[in-house]
């Protein structure tokens, strides 16, 4: 079933969205792209004469916590939809069931953060650090058991299920995958956003025009290692940028000062360099860095070779030579994937590299390349620099996007297709 084929008139739809938006210390939304991205789906349901129960997570709560309450986004959601959205303080409570049952066509109910319950993710919480393997296994079994009831209850609120949360499609959670089995094939579907994401991934996976260049930035190798390994069998050029750079530099014997580095990943970095050679992938590493004497926008700065960073200094962005190397590779590419900034782009004085990479991607796109930008921070980058309209597709998914590109079957997608 596709959302365009479905008529929501008189139906209640449970829509799983990804409203995991960044909030500042006063709970103001600092980037509402994820909310806007779900609007076409929500508006289509309302225009048909349906009503909506919205489920989402926000952050990584370990239980109910005001800081992670979805009530902080309620007003903004009402504004975006032009409807007074109702709120249920507890996604499992009596109130949620009563409000869902009373929904009239055109009405919307936002459920409190689904992850206030361990059952959403199906992972035990509150285990003692010294828990034995048996205790861990028992706790896991218990939460898997109660997860069934949790999922069934969520499903009971609605007549149909729409998954528009690409950002969590790689997780087999209650509301992103397990819930689908309570709906028959004709009453479960992707939302518009999910449809678009699936199409964009397909282009990078099955319709590759070469050269294919991936730019992997961000802070840590450890969080991206699997993806990097997998990309090595797909791409022609792999650009390593951001904080990861210094783990590679140190592994190869360079001096990195106090730059961010994962000392337990040095061997891994060397292995990746070897693997790239074996596979004939052009692994592109930084040659110079913009270094700072403190982790601050106002720090003193200078440029230096990436492997000669003085003691007490740290690399917070790429230098001009690296920028030239990276952007030349990008401009000559026909398929481009960008995940992660080249530096600490949150500090204005260290945005230059990320901006240059973004601009090179836009130029390549103008010349016919297909460019896909994904991962929270790269999306923040292209938005910050006003480049979003110049790339082919800006994904709302970080991990989900990368897993999809690795060729993994995403549970959230499989659950609808089954």
Cβ atoms of 161 and 183 closer than 8 Å: yes
Minimal distance, residue 314 CB to ligand AMP, in Å: 7
- Residue 353 within binding range of ligand AMP, rule CB under 6 A: no
Confirm or reject binding of residue 167 to ligand AMP (CB under 6 A): no
Stretch that binds ligand AMP, among 44-52, 113-121, 136-144, 336-344 (CB under 6 A): 336-344
**Which of helix, strand or coil describes residue 86?**
strand
Cβ-based neighbours of 330, under 8 Å, separated by 6 or more: 213, 215, 239, 336, 357, 360, 361, 364
In the complex, the smallest distance separating the C-beta of residue 200 from ligand AMP, rounded to whole angstroms, is 19
Task: List alpha helices for 220-283, DSSP H.
Answer: 225-231, 245-251, 266-279
Q: Pick from 167, 191, 242, 374: which binds ligand AMP (CB under 6 A)? A: 242
Asked if 218 is part of the footprint of ligand AMP (rule: CB under 6 A), the reply reads yes
Q: How far is the CB of 352 from ligand AMP (least distance, A)?
A: 12
Judge residue 171's burial from the number of C-beta atoms within 10 Å of its C-beta, 0-12 exposed, 13-18 middle, 19 or more buried. Answer: buried
Is 399 near ligand AMP (CB under 6 A)?
no
Cβ proximity of 321 and 288 under 8 Å? yes
Cβ distance to ligand AMP smaller for residue 242 or 257: 242
Q: Using an 8 Å Cβ cutoff, are 116 and 61 in contact?
A: yes
Task: Establish whether 358 is a catalytic residue.
Answer: no
Question: Judged by CB, which is closer to ligand AMP: 328, or 346?
Answer: 346
Instruction: Note if 376 is an active site residue.
Output: yes
Could you give the CA distance from residue 56 to residue 85 in angstroms, rounded to a whole number? 14
Question: How many other C-beta atoms are found inside a 10 Å radius of the C-beta of residue 7?
Answer: 9
254 in catalytic set: no
Q: Which of 319, 375, 399, 412 is catalytic?
A: 399
Using CB under 6 A, pick the residue from 321, 359, 377, 406 that binds ligand AMP: 377
Q: Which of 375, 397, 399, 411 binds ligand AMP (CB under 6 A)?
A: 375
Choose the catalytic residue: 34, 99, 224, 290.
34
Q: How many helices (H) and strands (E) does the chain have?
A: 14, 17
Residue 86 vs 168, nearer CB to ligand AMP: 168
DSSP letters for 179-231: GGGGS-GGGEEE-HHHHHHHHHHHHHHHSPPSSEEEEE-SS-STTTHHHHHHH
Cα 33 to Cα 30: distance, rounded to the nearest angstrom: 9
DSSP 299: S
Residue 374 found at the interface with ligand AMP (CB under 6 A): no
Nearest CA to 211 among 329, 106, 355?
A: 329
Binding residues for ligand AMP, rule CB under 6 A, total 16
Residues 260-319 that bind ligand AMP (CB under 6 A): 260, 315-316
Using rule CB under 6 A, residue 219 touches ligand AMP: yes
Is 171 assigned a catalytic role? no
Verify binding: residue 343, ligand AMP, rule CB under 6 A.
yes
> Looking at 376, 397, 398, 412, which residue is catalytic?
376
Contact call for residue 3 and ligand AMP (CB under 6 A) = no
Active-site positions read 34, 220, 376, 399
Q: Which residues bind ligand AMP (CB under 6 A)?
A: 218-220, 223, 242-243, 260, 315-316, 340-341, 343-344, 346, 375, 377
């Amino acid at each position: 079933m596709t959302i365009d084929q479905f008529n929501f008139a008189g139906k209640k739809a449970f829509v799983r969205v990804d409203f995991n938006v960044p909030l500042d210390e006063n709970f103001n939304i600092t980037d509402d792209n994820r909310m806007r991205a779900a609007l076409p789906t929500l508006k289509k349901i309302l225009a048909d004469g349906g009503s909506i129960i919205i489920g989402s997570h926000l952050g990584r709560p370990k239980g109910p916590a005001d800081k992670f309450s979805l009530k902080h986004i309620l007003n903004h959601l009402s504004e975006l939809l032009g409807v007074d959205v109702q709120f249920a303080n507890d996604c499992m409570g009596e109130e949620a069931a009563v409000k869902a049952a009373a929904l009239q066509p055109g009405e919307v109910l936002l459920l409190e953060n689904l992850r206030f319950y361990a059952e959403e993710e199906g992972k035990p919480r509150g285990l003692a650090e010294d828990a034995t393997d048996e205790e861990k296994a028992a706790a896991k079994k218990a939460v898997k058991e109660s997860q069934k009831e949790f999922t069934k209850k969520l499903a009971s609120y609605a007549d149909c299920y729409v998954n528009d949360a690409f950002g969590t499609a790689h997780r087999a959670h209650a509301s992103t995958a397990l819930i689908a089995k309570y709906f028959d094939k004709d009453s479960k579907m992707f939302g518009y956003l999910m449809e678009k994401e699936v199409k964009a991934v397909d282009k990078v996976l099955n319709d590759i025009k070469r050269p294919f260049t991936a730019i992997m930035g961000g802070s840590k190798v450890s969080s991206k290692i699997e993806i990097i390994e997998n990309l090595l069998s797909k791409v022609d050029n792999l650009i390593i940028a951001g904080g990861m750079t210094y783990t590679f530099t140190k592994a190869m014997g360079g001096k990195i000062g106090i730059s961010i580095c994962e000392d337990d990943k040095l061997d891994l970095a060397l292995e990746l360099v070897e693997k790239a050679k074996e596979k004939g992938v052009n692994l592109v590493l930084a040659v110079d860095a913009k270094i700072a004497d403190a982790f601050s926008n106002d720090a003193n700065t200078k440029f230096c070779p990436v492997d000669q960073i003085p003691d007490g200094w740290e690399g917070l962005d790429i230098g001009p030579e690296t920028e030239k190397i990276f952007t030349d590779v990008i401009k000559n590419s026909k398929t481009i994937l960008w995940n992660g900034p080249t530096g600490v782009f949150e500090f204005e004085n260290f945005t230059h590299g990320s901006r240059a990479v973004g601009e090179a991607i836009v130029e390549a796109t103008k010349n016919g390349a297909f460019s896909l930008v994904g991962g929270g921070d790269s999306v923040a980058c292209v938005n910050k620099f006003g480049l979003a309209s110049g790339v082919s597709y800006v994904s709302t998914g970080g991990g989900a996007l990368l897993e999809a590109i690795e060729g993994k079957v995403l549970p959230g997608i499989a659950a609808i297709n089954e």
